[in-house]
Amino acid sequence: MIPPALDTRPLAGVTVLDFSTLLPGPLATLMLAEAGARVIKIERPGGEDMRFHGPIVGEGREAMSAYYALLNRGKEIFTVDLKSPDAVERLRPLIASADVVMEQFRPGVMERLGLGYEALAAINPGIVYCAITGYGTCGPRAAQPGHDLNYQATTGSLAIGRLPMVDPPPPGLLAADIAGGTLPAVINILLALLGRAKTGRGTKLDIAMTDGMFTFGFFSQAQGAATGRYPDPGEPIFVGSLPRYSLYRTKDERLLALGALEDKFWLAFCDFVGLDASLRDDHATPVETRAAVAAKVAERTHAEWSAALAGTEFCVTPVASMAEAIADPHFLARGLFAHSVTTPSGAVLPAAVVPVAPQFRGPPGTVPAPGV
């Protein structure tokens, strides 16, 4: 840990009270902590559910979820039952000195606990209060429960891609949680702190994960506004409607990502695989061209494609597994995994990778999870 007197990170001296659990809020406050903020995580007696969500590292009293450890690196814990009569009084000193409050309850819960924005602003007018919810704190859906997949479904995000009609798989990325919740929360907290420096007053931030998901649909929204017709599922180029921008199966049933959008890349790839000249206008012959490209890709294994593509520059990439990506010399050279976290059992885990520039973080090293 960096001694407070020597901490030059941009958020050093900022105190955050984190009432959130699970992913969006804790990941946002982790980013603030990495940039120097003191984050005090408010937990109920016995700890939040994420503490016990496998995989578990250690045994007995030293057992801790790896997820929990990575999300809460370097944070402090303050234990209180928010439903107890003295909860607000116990929290009052922390509220009075805090700069930011993060919460992730359904709308109205913090108000019923006596911890809503108005109540906290009465104690500390400069407080920046950030509420992350699925649908926002107002509107017909405000009280509706949900998770990442629900938010993507509601906002049309799932319909952008071409999904098979039988047993369609959910997307593998928690886009609504992180891109719709965590990142907008961090951005707006930083904007609010800049605004407070000018006015002396805090504010309440209403971060709806569904609002953030519409940012992903701006291509479709622009087309609908300009033409009066929104694209059908699978129609946009970036979801695979053109053979030049799609995924293909290799001989060993792994994947190759073909992202040759520009003609110079596409034609170079066509030359590389020997695609017939009659199939190179994939706008005119999308079905035939896709079948031909698929056949070409299926001639080689994933490893053979990796070797064959070395040094080429036409935007074709073998799809890496997570293990392969973490071992990639490029990401290792950029220091993405140079930070680590210690669990109560003494296990050292790679820290969660966060998009905070290295000059705004502490030096690479190990920081304890809460309870260590």
Residues with catalytic roles = 147, 177
Distance CA 55, CA 64 (A): 8
| Length of the chain in terms of residues written | 372
Q: 238 with 219: CB under 8 angstroms?
A: yes
Chain-centre distance for alpha carbon 308:
33
Distance CA 145, CA 173 (A): 20
Q: 65 with 100: CB under 8 angstroms?
A: no
* Sheet strands (E) in the chain: 15-18, 38-43, 56-57, 64-65, 76-79, 100-103, 128-133, 203-208, 245-249, 255-259, 316-318, 340-342, 348-350, 366-368
Distance CA 77, CA 84 (A): 18
Residue 20 has a CB neighbour count (10 Å cut-off) of 25
Distance CA 134, CA 155 (A): 11
